[in-house]
Amino acid sequence: MTPLDKTSKIDKRKRRSQFIAFTLFKLMSYSVVAMLILILGFITTKGIGVINWEFLTTAPQEGMTKGGIYPAIIGTLVLVLGSSLFSFPIGIMSGIYMNEYATNSKLAAFIRVMTNNLSGVPSVVFGLFGMALFVNTMGFGDSILAGSLTLGLLSLPLVIRTTEESLKAIDFSFREGSLALGATKLQTIRKVILPMAFPNIITGLILSIGRVSGETAPILFTVAAYFLPKLPHSIFDQVMALPYHLYVISTSGTDIEASRGIAYGTALVLIAIVLIVNLLANFLRTFFSKRVKMN
């Protein structure tokens, strides 16, 4: 056997092991995709027949085995709006502070660690905390206010991180240019940096809406009502919410078998929200990245 034959043999073996490994990785990756298609496909085929105009616009009837999910849709919208009113301004301001003012200081490092920690706190702990602080100590009771604040706190780390990343992506020369023209720091941020970061920030905010609309554990004890056909009148009312509704009718409804259809419909509506939110975010991302060419 010549040395050349030996090398080619090793070469063949190497090639084969590479082929096996890469095929395996490819298969595993596609199986993850298949899993998603399985979940989405299953819920879509089972739920699509339930969804019609009446399902989306009437209240549940007969022990939640008939009727629609209108109050739950409205409740989720109200909660998303309420939590956004709280988390967007504070989160964006916090992100600005961390990227523009507190760069490299010990304080910024500390805040960053705390923000990371907060994003790791389980949602059920937010629920406990919201109940102890907003519902009991502050005396809001089970209300939209308490639920929105709890959800707002939960989505804060996401909003802060998005803002920070968007600001970080802007080249430093823009800041220097603005400052050199005599603008103050605040003017620079307002007139130059924020408009440039706006597309990315919006994309992140939309994704955080998707997250908030699907959360169940934080609203269990702060706002969610088991059954409440009336729509809320003030921020101190309770509301139904889509994720909680799905949980209730699939585990502890009056007649679980009879309300299965409604459960599939509710799950599909929840998934549709997430799909729309993701598509919108992706669309905006490509739309803006084509229009605004920075750096």
User: How many angstroms separate the CA atoms of 165 and 174, rounded?
Assistant: 16
Q: Are 211 and 277 in contact (CB under 8 A)?
A: no
Tell me which stretch binds another protein (CB under 8 A): 48-56, 182-190, 195-203, 231-239.
182-190
Total number of residues that touch another protein (CB under 8 A): 85
Give the residue, chosen from 8, 173, 254, 282, that forms a contact with another protein under the rule CB under 8 A.
Answer: 282
Matching residue, tokens 């502070």: 97
Q: Give the number of other CB atoms < 10 A from CB of residue 42.
A: 12
Alpha helices, DSSP H only, in the chain?
A: 3-47, 53-57, 70-96, 106-120, 123-130, 144-168, 172-180, 185-188, 194-214, 217-220, 242-251, 260-291
Site residues for another protein, 227-256, by CB under 8 A, read 243-244, 246-247, 250-251
Give the residue, chosen from 48, 113, 138, 181, that forms a contact with another protein under the rule CB under 8 A.
Answer: 113
Nearer to another protein, 173 or 282 (CB): 282
CB proximity list for 175: less than 8 A, separation 6 or greater: 188, 192, 193
Instruction: Decide if residue 263 touches another protein (CB under 8 A).
Output: yes
Tell me which stretch binds another protein (CB under 8 A): 64-72, 77-85, 192-200, 203-211.
203-211
Instruction: Decide if residue 193 touches another protein (CB under 8 A).
Output: no
Beta-bridged to residue 67, according to DSSP, are 60
Instruction: Decide if residue 90 touches another protein (CB under 8 A).
Output: yes
DSSP state, residue 63: T
Instruction: Decide if residue 110 touches another protein (CB under 8 A).
Output: yes
Instruction: Decide if residue 79 touches another protein (CB under 8 A).
Output: no
Give the residue, chosen from 51, 220, 239, 240, that forms a contact with another protein under the rule CB under 8 A.
Answer: 220
Tell me which stretch binds another protein (CB under 8 A): 60-68, 194-202, 274-282, 287-295.
274-282
Instruction: Decide if residue 25 touches another protein (CB under 8 A).
Output: yes
Nearer to another protein, 136 or 233 (CB): 136
Q: Are 95 and 115 in contact (CB under 8 A)?
A: no
Instruction: Decide if residue 278 touches another protein (CB under 8 A).
Output: yes
Nearer to another protein, 196 or 246 (CB): 246
CB proximity list for 78: less than 8 A, separation 6 or greater: 144, 148, 232, 239
Tell me which stretch binds another protein (CB under 8 A): 62-70, 99-107, 170-178, 191-199.
99-107
Burial 180-200 (b: 16+ CB within 10 A, else e): eeebeeeebbeebbbebbebb
Site residues for another protein, 121-180, by CB under 8 A, read 121-125, 127-129, 131-133, 136-137, 153, 156-157, 160
